Structure 1
Amino acid sequence: MSESPLLTRRALLGMTAAVPLTLALGTGTAHAADSAYAMVYFTESTNLGDGTDYGLHLAVSPDGLNWTPLNQNNPLATPTAGALGLRDPFLMRKQDGTFVVLATDLKGTDWSYNSQYIHVWDSADLRTLTGYRRLKLHDMSTHSWAPEAFWDAGRGQYAVIYSSVNNSGHNVIMVNYTSDFVTASAPQVFFDPGYDVIDGDMAVGVNGYNYLYYKKNQTLVSARSTSLAPGSFTEFSGGVAHGGTEAPTLVKSLASGTWWLWGDTYTPNGVFYAWQSSNLASGTWTALDQKTYTQPVNSKHCGITTITTTEYNNLLAKWGAPAWNRLKSYNFPARYVRHSNYAARIDEYPVEPYKDSLWTLAPGLADSSGVSFRSVNYPTRYLRHYNYALRLDENDGTSTFAADATFHRTAGLADAGWASFRSYNNPTRYIRHSNYVLRIDPISTATERQDATFRVGY
């Protein structure tokens, strides 16, 4: 399959054109209480090694932009039938308020593997996944990639859309209808513009239109229709891309009229990019500054839906936030703090090996009110300054090492919502990057303040 994500139609389900989008969630009632977001995904590292897992992963976010992986970024469930792995998970709240998860029946990158089935789980609250099964969609000797679903109120059923090759000879978006995600109707062609398309993602009932975003020639483009009928969608807008991009995911902000469009680069350990628009009818998107969003490490082809504050808190309580952090550069937000040959620097995501960019923020070795940065993959080593350069050294137990490896976290020098780190034993100096290498320096200029500012996230 193309490495396409199936995205999240956020809970635009259950709405008709007459229902305001901000209230649409799919229980038949307004989910005005929704205040946070959940993301499902799988993981791939750059070399398909450590950090690659074709199980179901889950992250949460209060703002829909910066994500906390749950369960230490380990899977919550792994398929036990078919290919014994998944790609392209999709998450939706159903009409009764519970959730359903769909995913491609495929493990790894064997695109010659053809499954007529997709994986399905049910969940009352995302804290437990039940009823695992596979749903058969067709009898063709071809695949069923990137399944997603939406509520078709006119039919009183869910539409399951996915990418497959029918007698046209190229990938089209197919559709089956179901009431229970146990059995489904015969497949129909939902959208075939005459060229290869995959990774369909829907927004239903937006000011009288239904929007279908999909991947065309490594670009995210859209079609729209006033109907949900198969064959009714026509190409609508030009595309957005950042290199080869796939897996469009449309998300409506809960705090404003803004829409976000997520896309995933067509590589293992793909990089997520995001665009925003205030009006889907305009067909225009503006790239978001990477300072504003952070994907879960190693995440691929995500699906996103909205959740309540209670659900958000319960998920964190159940699965826990990671015991480690990543530090993103403020003025080079594609880069993260990592160690390489024991030197500290900022490098572009994805970092290989990825654990070089994971840090345990421990109580300061010289002052517990401060912080020391312990390496996740070299846990006896800490970042310390030596001749003002930062490097990863073994803790020798001396007071000098403890002082060199201790820093006081302050409000970010360039942005108070971020963080800066002042040296414990050289208190006029802060951690900053210079030519991508980390050191401690006095800070005076605007550029130096940006160099010394980092986002502590996951």
Structure 2
Amino acid sequence: MISRRGLMAGAAGAAVAGLLGSKAFAQTAAGAYVMAYFTESPSMAGADYGLHLAVSTDGLDWLPLNQNNPVVTPTAGTGGLRDPFVLRKQDGRFVVLATDLKGTDWSLQNQYVHVWDSADLRGFTGYRRVKLHSMATHSWAPEAFWDPSRNQYAIIYSAAYGGHDVIMVNYTTDFTTVSAPQVFFDPGHATIDGTMATIGGVNYLYVKNNTNSTLVGQRSSSLAPGSFTTYKTGISPGRGVEAPQIVPAPAGNRWYLWGDTWSPNGRFFCWETTDVAAGNWTLLNDRAYTQPLNSKHPGITPITAAERSALVAQWGAPAWRRLKSYNFPGSYVRHANSVGRIDAYPFDPYQDQLWKLVPGLADAAGVSFESVNYPGRYLRHYNYELRLAANDGTATFKADATFHQTAGLADASWSSFRSHNFPDRYVRHFSSVLRIDPLGSASSTVDKQDATFRVGY
């Protein structure tokens, strides 16, 4: 094995060294983050079972890479993946693990997981499937961590054993040859989706209680199988949740806990705490974070700021944007039956929420919103309501379809959009429909919030 000292020379090496072991978190957090995921949407039109990547500078707001298309797709087994996870190994390189399952046939008994090696997540080599056991059951949601007491990596995953799902473990040095499976954690009832974080010398294992679809926290002073005891139960956003991920915030003594809902109609939730040991997680408002489009089952790994920049340079940022409502932050601007409106995420056709922000048709200093799935059609106001219509080339259409982006009326870090030809009017939602209304300093707080949006991905 390459020595850590030899590999990590220099400032960049020091930054990587602080991230070794992926989730063995120091009190100082990462400079950036990468999220691995697959995609599904309510009607499954957005389903894609390849490896997708997104990056973030704050661990909350995500930039999908490669136009939200996969960067690599399995070529063996079922030909698809779920539940991908990225581990930074002790030599500074990465390994990617994922469930071998394309689609939603939960009855499939698959003893294998997908594995790739990667120097920098800009290319993937050594693709293989690794057999974890010979039992008549699955191998779901594999994750891995470094166990210094064994000088080996532990691969944890969900499998049925003793009549219900438990968290199993295999040990490896190369993610090719693995030890015999052992039970890592079994609370006596169905448990899936284990994720590990070592914080302040304590090892935390968060899982999904599969009997009531809540998240549960365990901890141990060691990493030994069977050593974890439950200390926090019932973490829920008020609906079923799974796929926990603990992530250090970019500054301060704070951590985020991410969770995903289980159905294609699902979405991510995020909690925050300054004390993982106490387990007092506070659910964040949707305004605080944005998940990648159609993303499912996140695997989040700290990286350096330089690595994030290199990933964006390699894979590119999306050509489209999404607009999130300020006071209904679970909703996004879309067109439906040619009407501009906001609707709660997720929905299909998911492309209805994707916009190209182009120079204003009537004034290049402004902006026009061109539909991604109906190129040449733009949001324009007509009788003060916003509609999607084809550009007829007239001066009136161009003016109606041009808006000027300003500081958000409700929050200056967000955006509002003033009409080009009715400059006292701003785009706002009213009963979910978009329109332009006069909004001045005397406008109500609600009116200003209705006219405030976040331009993101």
Q: Pick the TM interval, shorter chain.
A: over 0.9
> Once the two structures are aligned, what percentage of the paired residues are identical?
66
Native 8 Å contact 1:26 1:94 kept in 2 = yes
Which TM-score applies when normalising by structure 1?
0.93
Query: Which of 336, 342, 347 is 2:343 aligned to?
Result: 347
Native 8 Å contact 1:79 1:119 kept in 2 = yes
- What is the DSSP-based 3-state SS (H/G/I as helix, E as strand, rest coil) of the residue aligned with 2:31? strand
Query: Which of 434, 437, 441 is 2:433 aligned to?
Result: 437
Instruction: Please give the alpha-carbon distance, in whole angstroms, between the structure 1 residues aligned to 2:143 and 2:168.
Output: 11
Equivalent residue for 1:170? Answer: 164
Equivalent residue for 1:336? Answer: 332
Query: Which of 203, 210, 227 is 1:210 aligned to?
Result: 203
Instruction: Please give the alpha-carbon distance, in whole angstroms, between the structure 2 residues aligned to 1:326 and 1:358.
Output: 6
Q: Tell me: CA distance 1:373–1:29, structure 2 relative to 1, closer, same or farther (3 Å).
A: closer
Instruction: Please give the alpha-carbon distance, in whole angstroms, between the structure 2 residues aligned to 1:63 and 1:33.
Output: 10
Instruction: Please give the alpha-carbon distance, in whole angstroms, between the structure 2 residues aligned to 1:450 and 1:272.
Output: 23
Following TM superposition, by how much is the alpha carbon of 1:31 offset from its aligned partner in structure 2, in angstroms? 11
Equivalent residue for 1:180? Answer: 174
> C-alpha deviations, 1:259-307, integer Å up to 9, x for none?
1111111111420000111111101111001101000010000101111
Equivalent residue for 1:137? Answer: 132
Native 8 Å contact 1:36 1:63 kept in 2 = yes
Q: Are 1:98 and 2:93 matched, yes or no?
A: yes
Native 8 Å contact 2:27 2:253 kept in 1 = no
Instruction: Please give the alpha-carbon distance, in whole angstroms, between the structure 1 residues aligned to 2:309 and 2:383.
Output: 44
Equivalent residue for 1:313? Answer: 309
Native 8 Å contact 2:19 2:302 kept in 1 = no
Following TM superposition, by how much is the alpha carbon of 1:239 offset from its aligned partner in structure 2, in angstroms? 2.2
Query: Which of 419, 426, 440 is 1:423 aligned to?
Result: 419
Query: Which of 215, 219, 227 is 1:224 aligned to?
Result: 219
Instruction: Please give the alpha-carbon distance, in whole angstroms, between the structure 2 residues aligned to 1:175 and 1:438.
Output: 52
- Structure 2 residues not aligned, in runs of 5+: 1-16
Native 8 Å contact 2:54 2:64 kept in 1 = yes
Query: Which of 117, 120, 130 is 2:112 aligned to?
Result: 117
Residue identity matched to 2:408: G
Query: Which of 386, 396, 414 is 1:390 aligned to?
Result: 386
- Structure 1 residues not aligned, in runs of 5+: 1-21
Instruction: Please give the alpha-carbon distance, in whole angstroms, between the structure 2 residues aligned to 1:122 and 1:273.
Output: 30
- Residues 136-155 of structure 1 correspond to what in structure 2 (within 5 A)? 136-155=131-150
Residue identity matched to 1:121: W
Equivalent residue for 1:4? Answer: none
Instruction: Please give the alpha-carbon distance, in whole angstroms, between the structure 1 residues aligned to 2:81 and 2:166.
Output: 21
Instruction: Please give the alpha-carbon distance, in whole angstroms, between the structure 1 residues aligned to 2:174 and 2:403.
Output: 55
Q: Are 1:44 and 2:23 matched, yes or no?
A: no
Native 8 Å contact 2:80 2:101 kept in 1 = yes
> C-alpha deviations, 1:185-222, integer Å up to 9, x for none?
00000001100000000112x23321110000200111
Q: Are 1:199 and 2:193 matched, yes or no?
A: yes
The one of the two structures with greater contact order (alpha-carbon pairs below 8 A, sep at least 6) is: 1
Residue identity matched to 1:125: D
Aligned-residue RMSD, C-alpha: 1.6
Equivalent residue for 1:14? Answer: none
Instruction: Please give the alpha-carbon distance, in whole angstroms, between the structure 2 residues aligned to 1:450 and 1:31.
Output: 36
Equivalent residue for 1:74? Answer: 69
- What is the DSSP-based 3-state SS (H/G/I as helix, E as strand, rest coil) of the residue aligned with 2:375? coil
Equivalent residue for 2:358? Answer: 362
Equivalent residue for 1:447? Answer: 446
> C-alpha deviations, 1:292-331, integer Å up to 9, x for none?
1000010000101111111111111111110001100001
Instruction: Please give the alpha-carbon distance, in whole angstroms, between the structure 2 residues aligned to 1:323 and 1:207.
Output: 41
Following TM superposition, by how much is the alpha carbon of 1:182 offset from its aligned partner in structure 2, in angstroms? 0.7
Q: Tell me: CA distance 1:61–1:164, structure 2 relative to 1, closer, same or farther (3 Å).
A: same
Equivalent residue for 1:128? Answer: 123
Instruction: Please give the alpha-carbon distance, in whole angstroms, between the structure 2 residues aligned to 1:146 and 1:385.
Output: 47
Equivalent residue for 2:5? Answer: none
- What is the DSSP-based 3-state SS (H/G/I as helix, E as strand, rest coil) of the residue aligned with 2:108? coil
> C-alpha deviations, 1:88-140, integer Å up to 9, x for none?
00011110111111000000001111111100011111111111111110011
Instruction: Please give the alpha-carbon distance, in whole angstroms, between the structure 2 residues aligned to 1:23 and 1:226.
Output: 21
Following TM superposition, by how much is the alpha carbon of 1:47 offset from its aligned partner in structure 2, in angstroms? 1.1
Native 8 Å contact 1:351 1:357 kept in 2 = no
Q: Are 1:288 and 2:284 matched, yes or no?
A: yes
Following TM superposition, by how much is the alpha carbon of 1:436 offset from its aligned partner in structure 2, in angstroms? 1.1
- What is the DSSP-based 3-state SS (H/G/I as helix, E as strand, rest coil) of the residue aligned with 1:280? coil
Instruction: Please give the alpha-carbon distance, in whole angstroms, between the structure 1 residues aligned to 2:256 and 2:320.
Output: 28
